[in-house]
Structure 1
């Protein structure tokens, strides 16, 4: 059974307590807050033959089939490869499932994640099933970026924002999930994960603190002219592009904030505070705004899976970053 996260208790009671369910739900929120687990928990409850007050029983034939991954009335739609699009042929297969009669005489439940990974043809192919699903079918759509969805997709679903836990609740949960990490490390991981505790665990598994230390050291050497943009771009080959653009976007925002407020409490994590302060004092605000616009544009290309030359892209970023000090 999917894990039940404490910050979802209120929403779960609301969903599980419904006498009648909508034909389609859009569960949305940031990455790493447990939306998929919530959808799987709801899926199990909807398929269960003897659901309890708040959960699937876990013991009936339906629950056992679902646990074994062989439930005939359950369909999970995901990209065939990580970070790839959901294709129109995959959605057509789903539509064929939706129009079939339930084999166990109850509901059919579909889970799609992430729904924004559908290309335009796939999204259009889903619309009919969303509007008029066959029989007693419930579609659970999970989205990390609902702004990327077609309005016609969103309008056909009950849209449900999933809660981001408080920092205190996240740290309490992380203390159990990452018992070998120090309090300081867990705070740092949660900050890097933008407050999403499951994302913090994933970042820890990726070695993100070591990756960030490498990048921060490289940025400092770049500004001291001890390493070139080309050397750094090649040395960061193992670090995800999206992670790099997220950090540089965050740093440019912190520079702008400090230029406007001179609030030292708003300089971000300790590893870059002196650099942020230095660049804020030495850089022209227009240059910061221009590089931030450029970073956001490139980040969007990365998200849209554009065919990019990684080394040239990072070189362009670092050349601009190295040119920031100086008021000209």
Structure 2
């Protein structure tokens, strides 16, 4: 059974306690807050033949089939490969499932995650099923970036924002999830994960704290002209492009904020505070705005799974970053 997270309790009572369900829900919010688990928990509840209060019983035939991954009235649509698009042929298979009669004489439940992974043709192919699903069918759509969805997809769903837990709740949960980490490590992981506790756990498993230290050290050497952009780009092969562009976008924003406010409390994490302040003092504002626009445009390509030459993209980034101090 999917894990029940404490910060979802009020939302769970609202969703699971409904006497009638919408034909489609769009569960959206930042990555790493448990939306998939919430959708799976609701899926189990909707398919269960003998619900135990707000939860699935876990004992009926339907619950056993779902746990075994062989429930005939359940369809999960996700990319065939990690970080790839959901293809139109996959959606056509889903549409074929939706028009069938439920085999256990109950509901059919579809889970799609992440919805934004559908390309344009795939999204358009889903519209008819979203608007008029056959029989007693509920579609659960999970999105980490709802702004990337077609308005026609969003308008056909009940849109439900999923809560981001407070820092205190997240740290309490992380203390149990990562008992071998210190409180300072929990805070750093939570910061790097933008407040999403499940993302913080994944970052710990991926060694992101060490990756961040490597990147910060490299940026400092770059600005001191102790390393070439090409050499640095090659040395960051283990760090995801999305993380790199998240960090550089954040640093450019902090530089601009400090130029406008001169508020030292807003210089960000301690590891880059002096660098941010130095670049804010030495870089014309027009150059900061230019690189910020470029970073945001490239980040959108990364998020959109564009076919990018990683090394050339990072070299272009680092050449621009190294040229920030000095005249425009």
Scaled by the length of structure 1, what TM-score is found? Answer: 0.99
Secondary structure (helix, strand or coil) at the match of 1:142 reads strand
Shift in Å at residue 304 of structure 1?
Answer: 1.7
Shift in Å at residue 263 of structure 1?
Answer: 1.5
Shift in Å at residue 139 of structure 1?
Answer: 0.4
1:252-273 CA distance string (max 9 Å, x none): 0111111111222111111101
1:2-81 aligned at under 5 Å gives the runs 2-81=2-81
Secondary structure (helix, strand or coil) at the match of 2:9 reads helix
> What corresponds to 1:212 in structure 2?
212
Q: How far apart, CA to CA, are the structure 2 residues paired with 1:107 and 1:122?
A: 24
Q: How far apart, CA to CA, are the structure 1 residues paired with 2:119 and 2:320?
A: 33
> What corresponds to 1:164 in structure 2?
164
Q: How far apart, CA to CA, are the structure 2 residues paired with 1:5 and 1:111?
A: 19
> What corresponds to 2:255 in structure 1?
255
1:102-134 CA distance string (max 9 Å, x none): 100000000000011111111111111111111
Number of residue pairs the alignment of both structures matches:
328
Secondary structure (helix, strand or coil) at the match of 1:26 reads strand
Q: How far apart, CA to CA, are the structure 2 residues paired with 1:60 and 1:310?
A: 50
> What corresponds to 1:242 in structure 2?
242
Q: How far apart, CA to CA, are the structure 2 residues paired with 1:156 and 1:265?
A: 44
> What corresponds to 2:310 in structure 1?
310
> What corresponds to 1:194 in structure 2?
194
Q: How far apart, CA to CA, are the structure 2 residues paired with 1:193 and 1:301?
A: 21
Structure 2 unaligned segments of length 5 or more: list them. Answer: none
> What corresponds to 2:86 in structure 1?
86
1:191-219 CA distance string (max 9 Å, x none): 11111000011111110011111110000
Scaled by the length of structure 2, what TM-score is found? Answer: 0.99
Secondary structure (helix, strand or coil) at the match of 2:159 reads strand
> What corresponds to 1:152 in structure 2?
152
Shift in Å at residue 157 of structure 1?
Answer: 0.5
1:144-201 CA distance string (max 9 Å, x none): 1111111111111100000000011111101111111111111111011111000011
Q: How far apart, CA to CA, are the structure 2 residues paired with 1:244 and 1:124?
A: 32
Shift in Å at residue 95 of structure 1?
Answer: 0.7
Shift in Å at residue 2 of structure 1?
Answer: 0.2
Shift in Å at residue 327 of structure 1?
Answer: 3.9
